[in-house]
Chain A
C-alpha cells in the first residue's frame, strides 16, 4: 500500500485544481486541499476505503461534499487539523515552465486572439459573455480561443526548451 504522504502528494494538485475551478480563489482552493486530504487520511485509517483504485472517486466525492459544505458555512476543518496534520502543511502549485515568456507570446498573437484570451481568462468568462462583448458568436469565440491557446502553448513551451 502506498503511504499516506505519497497519496497526499499525488492528490493535492488535483484537489487544488478542482477547488480553483469551482471556487475561483487560490486561498479557498488551498483550504479545500487540506480539508479533503484530512478526510482522505481519516477514512483510510478507519478502513472506510480499502480499494485504492476507488480512491480517486472517493476524493472527488469528498471535494464535492466539502465545497457544498463550505457554501453552507459548516466545516470539519479545525477538528481534523488538530488530529492529523501540522499547521504549516501546504502544497505549492508547480509553475508553468516558460511563463516568463507569456507577455511576448501574448504580443505575438493576432489582435482578435489576444483580446479574446484576455477577456476570457481575466475573470474566466464564458464564450457567450466574451462574444457579446465583442460582437462575435459563441462558436467564433471558441474557435479563436482554441487557436490562441494552441499558439500560446507552443510559444511558451518552445521558449522553455
Chain B
C-alpha cells in the first residue's frame, strides 16, 4: 500500500532518534499510526538500528570508535583489550578468547589538522589498508581509537603491524604519528 504523502526518510530518522520538536513528533505519529507504508519505512530504520547494535556488540567491524562508545560497551559488561601507544612507540600485544573488543589507542597532537588518515602497514612499510578522513578532535592531547575485530586477530600469526596517522592536505601528507604493534597469538 503506497502513501500519497510519504514521510521523508530523514524525518523518520529524526523521529526515531527523538530529534523532532514535540508538535512535529505528534503529527508524525498520527500519520504513522494510520499509514502502513510509512510505518514499514520506519520498521526498516528500526531493523537497521537493531542490526547495527548487534554488529557493534560483536566488535565485528574494523573501524574508528570513541572513548565514550568504549565506556558504554564496557558498562554493558563487554570486555575491551586496549593497547595505548604514543607517537613513535611500540607495544607487545595479543588477543584472547575472552576479549570482545581489541582496541588500539593512538595518542597524537592533532592541532591544526584538517583531514586525518589512518594507514595500516606491514613491518616493511607497505600500505595494507587506509582509513581516509577519519573523525577526530583537533586537540593537543587527542586520541584515535581503532577497533580491530577480535575474530580476525585470533586467526593471525605472530606479526608486526604499523599504524600511521597522516595529516592530509591537497598538497601533502604529513606523518603525525607512527605506532608499532607486535602481535603474538595467545
Interface, chain A (partner B; CB < 8 A): 10-11, 13-14, 17-18, 20-21, 56-57, 59-60, 63, 93-96, 99, 102-103, 106-107, 110-112, 114-127, 133-136, 142, 145-146, 149-150, 152-153, 156
B interface, size bucket: 35 or more
Interface, chain B (partner A; CB < 8 A): 9-10, 13-19, 29-30, 32-34, 36, 39-40, 42-49, 51-53, 55-56, 60-66, 68-69, 72, 131-138
Q: What is the CA–CA distance of A20 and B39 in the complex, to the nearest angstrom?
A: 13
Q: What is the CA–CA distance of A121 and B36 in the complex, to the nearest angstrom?
A: 24
| Closest CB in chain A relative to B72 CB, distance in Å | 6
- Main DSSP-derived SS at the B contact region: helix
Q: What is the CA–CA distance of A134 and B52 in the complex, to the nearest angstrom?
A: 19
- The tally of CB-CB contacts under 8 A between chains A and B is 139
14 of the cross-chain contacts (CB-CB < 8 Å) are A56-B33, A60-B29, A93-B43, A103-B55, A110-B132, A111-B132, A111-B133, A119-B68, A119-B69, A121-B53, A125-B17, A127-B19, A150-B9, A153-B44
B19 x A126 contact (CB < 8 A) = yes
B68 x A124 contact (CB < 8 A) = no
- Main DSSP-derived SS at the A contact region: helix
A118 x B135 contact (CB < 8 A) = no
Apart from A60-B30, A60-B33, A119-B66, what are 18 other A-B pairs with CB-CB below 8 Å? Answer: A14-B36, A57-B33, A96-B51, A99-B47, A102-B52, A115-B66, A121-B49, A121-B53, A122-B72, A123-B72, A124-B17, A133-B66, A136-B135, A145-B13, A146-B13, A149-B13, A152-B48, A153-B48
| Closest CB in chain A relative to B166 CB, distance in Å | 13
Q: What is the CA–CA distance of A94 and B38 in the complex, to the nearest angstrom?
A: 14
Residues on the A chain within 8 Å of B137, using CB: 134-135
Q: What is the CA–CA distance of A121 and B50 in the complex, to the nearest angstrom?
A: 8
Q: Residue of A at shortest CB range from B18? A: A126
A18 x B33 contact (CB < 8 A) = yes
Residues on the B chain within 8 Å of A111, using CB: 63-64, 131-135
| Closest CB in chain A relative to B136 CB, distance in Å | 7
